[in-house]
Amino acid sequence: MTRPKQSIEDRLLAARVAIQNALDDKSLQSSLAVFGYNQEKLEVGKALLEKAQSAQQTQQSEYGDQYDATDKVNRIWERANKVYMRNVKIARIALRDWRGALSKLDLHGQRKRAIAGWIIQARQFYSGLLADAEMMAKMAEFNITEEKLKAGQEQVNGVEAAHLIQGKEKGEAQIATQARDAAMDELAQWMSDFITIARMALEEEPQALEKMGIVEPS
């Protein structure tokens, strides 16, 4: 039967138990030193462990920042879209018979669902309206003033700024994951060699192996 894959936290804990107990027990060190795993070499493993733990903490922190940034984008986007859609509906009525205006403001068809497309579409809508006095006059008939449209435009700018921050946080989280994975791979290789040696060094001392958290396969 295939064993379930250990979590990163479990792998780090197992490495800490094995390395730290070996460092703290002179009898274990003596047996391991016969095969070259003296205190200095064990300290190398401990350094790799601490590097992996630090990388794991950094990765979790970066993903926390990414999640916060994503939640912020969604909140800002939801508010901005509510105002935008209200303005779009009014513009479609105010400019119903003006094909050129409808085209300039990209009012034909559905609104974009992806945030990048939404930003482009919303920016075109607000900038197009604000640049045309005649369109503005028609919108004013429905009490959509220049001030309201500029406020809507600023909301779109806020969504774009938050989206850029989200992208930055996502990139940093991915970099942190790559660094964590590399550190874990380095530790795993060291631990694989160490456990192999420990099993040979302590072949006649199963209790000593158990003290290091190394259980012989049944």
Query: Which pLDDT value is given to residue 38?
Result: 93
Total of domains in the chain: 1
pLDDT tens digit sequence for 127-175: 999 999 999 999 999 999 999 999 999 999 999 999 999 999 999 999 9
Q: What is the pLDDT of residue 122?
A: 97
pLDDT value, residue 209: 87
Q: By three-state DSSP, how is residue 183 classified?
A: helix
Q: Residue 48's pLDDT is what?
A: 97
Estimate the share of the chain in helix, then strand, then coil, as percent rounded to the nearest 5.
80, 0, 20
Statement: residue 185 has pLDDT above 80? yes
Q: State the residue range of the domain holding 146.
A: 9-211
Residue-by-residue DSSP string for 59-117: HHHHHHHHHHHHHHHHHHHHHHHHHHHHHHHHHHHHTTT-HHHHHHTT-SSPPP-SHHH
Cβ partners under 8 Å of residue 31, min gap 6: 201, 202, 205, 208
Question: Is 4 part of a structural domain of the chain?
Answer: no
Q: Confirm if 159 and 115 have CB atoms less than 8 A apart.
A: yes
- What does the pLDDT look like over 122-138, one tens digit per residue? 999 999 999 999 999 99
The tokens for 37 are 């795993």
Residue-level pLDDT at 208 = 87
Q: Answer whether residue 3 is part of any domain.
A: no
Q: Is position 2 within any domain?
A: no
Predicted confidence band at 217 (pLDDT cuts at 50, 70, 90)?
A: low
Look at residue 14 and tell me if it is in a domain: yes
Report percent pLDDT > 90 for the chain.
Answer: 86
* Of 23-32, 112-121, 171-180, the least confident: 23-32
Residue 143 lies in a domain: yes
Quick one: pLDDT at residue 203? 87
Q: What's the mean pLDDT when you consider all of the chain?
A: 93
Residue 104, in any domain of the structure: yes
Cα of 71 vs its chain's centroid, Å: 12
Give pLDDT, residue 113. 93
| Residue 1 pLDDT > 50 | no
User: Is-above-0.85 flag for pTM?
Assistant: no
Asked, for residue 1, whether it belongs to a domain, the answer is: no
pLDDT category of residue 216 using cuts at 50, 70 and 90: low
Reported confidence tier of residue 210, pLDDT bands at 50, 70, 90: confident
Confidence of residue 4 (pLDDT cuts 50, 70, 90): low
Closest CA to 42 of 174, 170, 201: 201
Domain annotation covers residue 70: yes
Cα–Cα dist 159/118, whole Å: 10
> According to the 3-state scheme, what is the secondary structure of 107-125?
CCCCCCCCHHHHHHHHHHH
